[in-house]
Amino acid sequence: MTEPFSFTVHATDGAARTGTIRTAHGDVATPAFMAVGTAATVKAMQMRDVRETGTDVVLGNTYHLMLRPGAERVAELGGLHKFSNWPHTILTDSGGFQVMSLAKLRKVTEHGVTFQSHIDGSKHVLTPERSMEIQALLGSDIQMQFDECVDLPNGRDEIDRAMRLSLRWAERSKAAFQGGPGQAVFAIVQGGDIADLRVESARALVKMDFPGYAIGGLAVGEPQEVMARMLDVTVPELPSNRPRYLMGVGTPDDLLLSIERGIDMFDCVMPTRAGRHGLAYTRFGRINLKNARHANDPTPLDPESNCPAARDYSRAYLHHLVRSGELLAMTLITWANLAYYQSLMAGARTAIREGRFADYAAEARAGWARERE
């Protein structure tokens, strides 16, 4: 019998906390960085290597999978865990955010969003109900409410309209959620960069009582200090015994400043996307391996890393692969980036347990500065 979905906080250090989320497919150590698996794959990586980096959660992409191969087909093939050979926790997004950024001819109404596929122009509708049905068909452990995220900067009227629509869609998403034990539906706080709308959104969602709360509508072009200020006003409104997921974030620096403010979960395309473009994230900061200065460098990205990609290959070799446009460059640098993100999270979890997160963050930031000297 699968246990119910649960979240336990093991230790706190200021507003930072470390804990465990238990889902139908295993435990998630928090703070957690979740690897983005777009079309049922973490691009350029094998799932066993993703697991090796310490990743506990892979994101499934509702928008892509509903268009191709189709949610019903994935269900017939045993669900996303089986289809993609990832037996651990899967979080799926609602599809709403990507419809707004990828689809053509989108139309938003109270009912939902109609759009045309960016793949073949076919017409589709996404509503809170259909989104929850798709996420259930995929077999997702953590399902996201259907919401509307607006870009920043934006006017108060537009931010207010989208925030209230997202509240009504939160009710409908929760009502349509069919999850069993070990599965959960998370709400998404909206409100843009307007403090009083953030508070109103958070309080209304907490009243609906969700097993977890995401903070959306950020990392959409606002300065880092605006994001930090929105966390300062939003996090205190959320229950401390529920996971908090900051969507689409971020750089290593974003992660540390958000953990410091009480965030537990993150997802970001950065480490995987940057990896495919020859950009490595390391303890010493960002390294553009395309740069000629690496052509004769016999040292690996990080000799102390437990990731073969960061430890067993010279920067000269990686530079050669990037310059030659070799596929292996994408795999190795994506792998090293994900491993660095996971080691940053693992270090944060230990530092919080030991009550020294502030020092840990300062040491990490000092390390990034070294490479730039």
Ligand X SMILES: O=c1[nH]cnc2c(CCNCC3CCCCC3)c3[nH]c(NCc4cccs4)nc3cc12
* Count of helices and strands (H, E) across the chain: 15, 16
| Secondary structure of 192-225 in HEC code, one letter for each residue | CCCHHHHHHHHHHHHHHCCCEEEECCCCCCCCHH
Shortest CB 320 distance to ligand X, Å: 30
Would you say 6 or 38 has its CB closer to ligand X? 38
Residue nearest to ligand X (CB): 248
Active-site choice (13, 56, 93, 147): 93
Residues in the chain, overall count: 373
CB atoms within 10 A of CB 161: 14
Shortest CB 174 distance to ligand X, Å: 16
Shortest CB 294 distance to ligand X, Å: 28
Would you say 15 or 269 has its CB closer to ligand X? 269
Would you say 5 or 146 has its CB closer to ligand X? 146
Per CB under 6 A, residues contacting ligand X are 36, 38, 59, 61, 93, 97, 101, 147, 149, 188, 216-220, 247-248, 267, 269
Active-site choice (193, 264, 267, 302): 267
Contacts with 304 (C-beta within 8 Å, 6 or more apart), sequence order: 283, 311
Q: Name the nearest CA neighbour of 333 among 273, 293, 269.
A: 273
Looking at residue 88, the DSSP 8-state letter turns out to be S
Catalytic residue list contains 267: yes
Would you say 247 or 345 has its CB closer to ligand X? 247
Which three-class secondary structure state does DSSP give residue 107?
strand
The secondary structure of 337-360 as a DSSP string is HHHHHHHHHHHHHHHHHTT-HHHH
Which three-class secondary structure state does DSSP give residue 110?
coil
Shortest CB 61 distance to ligand X, Å: 4
Catalytic residue list contains 312: no
Q: Catalytic residues, which ones?
A: 93, 267
